[in-house]
Structure formats: structure tokens, C-alpha cells
């Protein structure tokens, strides 16, 4: 079976600003673009920023809406973290270590793009926790 690629569309207000943030800041490859939309390659997944005619406003927290990636290598997670810091991207939440010593242990940080879209980047110490470990009731931070 061929790999399946994730697609996510999200609101932006300016194509050039989105291109600068995602291409220069996060090192996404730029695909097609028009004055109303931009296709980006984020680690092999398709992101599409669509210019919104509605006002874009900040969220009141990380829940319920954010998107991101789960790295399968701590070194890759750390590499993106270092890039985000070097590019002086806006951290919505600084890097942290959740649930240390448990099977659900992971590292995480949140970025906020110029259009208030929140992105979480994770690395799990135990890969089985990505989809399993159902006996653990904790998911994310307390609201």
C-alpha cells in the first residue's frame, strides 16, 4: 500500500505573509499559489492556506483546534525546535515535557502563525502511545 498523505486547509489573510512564515520559517516547500491560496509541503503533507474573507481572530487556547506533526525521532523534533527558535517564530507554548515516566511521555511545543493558527509539534518516548495505551486517561493538558 502506498503512503497516505494528510491534507489540511486553514485560513490566512495574506498569501505573501503565509509564504514567508511557512517557507522561510518552517522550511515548507511551496507548491502552487494564487492570490487567494497557497499550497505547502510540510514534511510530506499538504497544507493549503486559503485567504479568508471573514475576520481571523485569535483563539482562546490550544483546545479545541490546532494541528501539527508527531515526529518519530527526537533529533528531528529538536531540529525543528531549534529552527523555530532561530527563525524567531512565535511560540504559543514553550517546549515542555508532558507525563514524564509514563507510557504517554512526550515532548511538545506550540507555534502560532501570523493568522492565529496553532500548530503542535510532538515526540513520544514510546511510539505505542501515539494511538494506543488506552488504559491512560490523560490526553493533553487540563482545560
Q: Kindly state the average pLDDT of the residues 3-25.
A: 96
Closest CA to 117 of 54, 70, 65, 55: 65
Residues forming a β-bridge with 51: 12
pLDDT at 136 over 80: no
The set of cell numbers assigned to 110 is 506550540
Q: Give the pLDDT score at 142.
A: 64
Tell me the residue length of the chain. 143
Average pLDDT, the chain: 93
Q: Give the pLDDT score at 6.
A: 94
Instruction: Decide if 72 contacts 121 (C-beta within 8 A).
Output: no
Instruction: Decide if 35 contacts 95 (C-beta within 8 A).
Output: no
pLDDT digit string (tens) for 27-69? 999 999 999 999 999 999 999 999 999 999 999 999 889 999 9
Amino acid at each position: 500500500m502506498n503512503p497516505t498523505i494528510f491534507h489540511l486547509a486553514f485560513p490566512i489573510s495574506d498569501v505573501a505573509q503565509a509564504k514567508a512564515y511557512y517557507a522561510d520559517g518552517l522550511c515548507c516547500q511551496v507548491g502552487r499559489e494564487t492570490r487567494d491560496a497557497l499550497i505547502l509541503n510540510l514534511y510530506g503533507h499538504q497544507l493549503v492556506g486559503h485567504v479568508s474573507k471573514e475576520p481571523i481572530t485569535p483563539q482562546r487556547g490550544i483546545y479545541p483546534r490546532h494541528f501539527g506533526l508527531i515526529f518519530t525521532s527526537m533529533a528531528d523534533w529538536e531540529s525543528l525546535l531549534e529552527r523555530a527558535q532561530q527563525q524567531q517564530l512565535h511560540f504559543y507554548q514553550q517546549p515542555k515535557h508532558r507525563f514524564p515516566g509514563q507510557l504517554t511521555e512526550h515532548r511538545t511545543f506550540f507555534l502560532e502563525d501570523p493568522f492565529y493558527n496553532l500548530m503542535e509539534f510532538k515526540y513520544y518516548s514510546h511510539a505505542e502511545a501515539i494511538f494506543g495505551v488506552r488504559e491512560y486517561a490523560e490526553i493533553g493538558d487540563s482545560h
